[in-house]
Amino acid sequence: MLNVNALTVTMQRDSAKRILDDIAFDVKDGQILAILGPSGAGKTTLLRCLALLHTQTSGTITVNGAPIDTLAAGKIGIVFQSFNLFPHLTVLDNMLLAPTCHKKDTAEALKEKAHALLTQFGLAAHAGAHPHNLSGGQKQRVAIARALMMDPPVLLFDEPTSALDPELINEVSEIIKALRQPNRVILVVTHEVRLARHVADHILFLDNGVLRDNVSRDVFFDESGNGLSPRARTFLSNLS
Ligand SMILES: Nc1ncnc2c1ncn2[C@@H]1O[C@H](COP(=O)(O)OP(=O)(O)O)[C@@H](O)[C@H]1O
Ligand SMILES: [Mg+2]
């Protein structure tokens, strides 16, 4: 279980401006959570706090009761919006870098694992390729496979469809859903309502740094709009 409590992030230059304002939520093991909201809502900042890439200003984040910064390095997997593969490394070496650094297993076992993941993602033929020779969808699958090398109990996606052809939304949805595991939480930041609807059990709606809604997918997408904040209702009605 992932728990976020009283998470507040202020701007460095202007501490009165809150990028995230007193955010609190839980994600149970085995769940997929989508974080929806307009551009500038604070979605990426929240994800960066969870990935320890942003020093939170105040509040706590725990995984199974332990502060998130005490988790072994690499245990928080993140798939960035622009994938952030190392351009000078092959696909295989991108995957081996972190687990080798952290001595996760023998070199042979790690290679075997990397090849198994590449096969699973239909990338077996590309182990020796460099990222610039891959399509966007392939790069994303490499980024996911790379994150999985560390068996992360927390897996984060930032706008997984934004750099891809809209026709790939269903494919990305299926890939993310297949990553669900009983001992893993998955958070997907997106402004793409279709993706949230396909993958998530639960939806957070963030606006202007404030968590406006924390509801099940069924409540969020119920046509009545009952149980939603006025801001979320406007967001949804502007899409149709
Ligand atoms: N490093 C930063 N310095 C100053 N302001 C920032 C920084 N990062 C994000 N912001 C501001 O915080 C707000 C939330 O940004 P972000 O988390 O990227 O939103 P989203 O991902 O929902 O579009 C925006 O107003 C943005 O301008
Ligand atoms: Mg963002």
Domain extents in the chain: 1-71+154-240, 85-152
User: What is the model's pLDDT at position 74?
Assistant: 77
- The ligand minimizing its distance to the Cα of 9 is 1
Return the amino acid letter for 144.
Answer: I
| Contact (CB, 8 A) for 156 and 168 | no
Q: How far apart are CA 153 and CA 173, in angstroms?
A: 19
User: What is the model's pLDDT at position 240?
Assistant: 64
pLDDT in tens, 80-112: 988 999 999 999 999 999 999 988 899 999 999
Return the amino acid letter for 195.
Answer: L
Distances (CA, A) of 182 to 34, 43, 179, 215, 231: 17, 25, 10, 21, 33
Q: What are phi and psi of 39, to 5 degrees?
A: -60, 135
Residues of the chain falling short of pLDDT 50: none
Test site for ligand 1: of 44, 45, 159, 187, most ligand atoms within 8 A of the Cβ: 45
User: What is the model's pLDDT at position 87?
Assistant: 96
**Cα–Cα nearest to 29, from 202, 185, 187, 151:** 185
Question: Cα torsion at 42, 43, 44, 46 (round to 10°)?
Answer: 80
Q: Six-digit token pair at 191?
A: 């402004």
User: What is the model's pLDDT at position 155?
Assistant: 96
Whole-number Å distance, alpha carbon 129 to ligand 1 midpoint, is 34
Q: What percent of the chain has pLDDT over 70?
A: 100
**Cα–Cα nearest to 140, from 115, 161, 114, 116:** 161
What CATH fold (topology level) applies to the domain 1-71+154-240?
Rossmann fold (3.40.50)
